[in-house]
Amino acid sequence: MRGAITTRVLPRQYEFLKACQEKRYVAFVGGIQSGKTTSAALQAWIEVARNRPPHRGWIVAPTYQLSEVPERDFVALMPEGIKRIRRENQRLIYELYNGHTVEFKTAEDPDKLRGERLAWVHVEEAAQLTREVVDILYGRVLA
């Protein structure tokens, strides 16, 4: 992996990142500007560095608009870690130097979330997702 991330984290962000190392499922519940999205981007890079099979992760948001902010944060944290950006339909797929891929998905059509096997998934604005979407996402990681 190329590059390194150097950033300061808030105490709640640190608690979240530490919990992600110890538990399978973790929620960061906080107010506006509490660091939830940045924490998710940091955790995504940690998962990329782990590079567990199947070497693919998703960040899923309820809508396309809500997926743009975590995508910007992910890219801004370590742009030198991105080998290539590939466009598939209307979304971008980030191919990283260690062979991992990261995709930013929307939950607007739950059926488009089926079928893939993932090493990890992060959900942005989870309270806005339907139970069907949550069940599908659990299945992507558990498969």
Taking only the tens place, the pLDDT of each residue in 25-64 is 888 888 888 888 899 899 999 999 988 899 999 999 999 8
- Over the stretch 58-113, which tens digit does the pLDDT of each residue have? 999 999 888 899 999 999 999 999 999 999 887 889 999 999 999 999 999 999 99
Q: Are the CB atoms for 47 and 120 separated by under 8 Å?
A: yes
pTM of the model: 0.86
Please state whether beta strands 101-106 and 91-96 pair in parallel, antiparallel, or not at all (unpaired).
antiparallel
Q: For position 44, what pLDDT does the model report?
A: 92
SS3 state of residue 76: helix
pLDDT at 24 over 80: yes
- How would you class 74 by CB atoms within 10 Å of its CB: exposed for 0-12, middle for 13-18, buried for 19 or more? buried
Q: For position 8, what pLDDT does the model report?
A: 81
**Amino acid identity of 67?**
S
Indicate the DSSP class of residue 50. Answer: H
pLDDT at 3 over 70: no
pLDDT at 22 over 60: yes
Q: For position 2, what pLDDT does the model report?
A: 56
- pLDDT band for 4, please (50, 70, 90 cuts): low
Indicate the DSSP class of residue 120. Answer: E
Q: C-alpha distances in angstroms, 115 versus 12, 48, 65, 138? A: 34, 21, 24, 12
Q: For position 26, what pLDDT does the model report?
A: 87
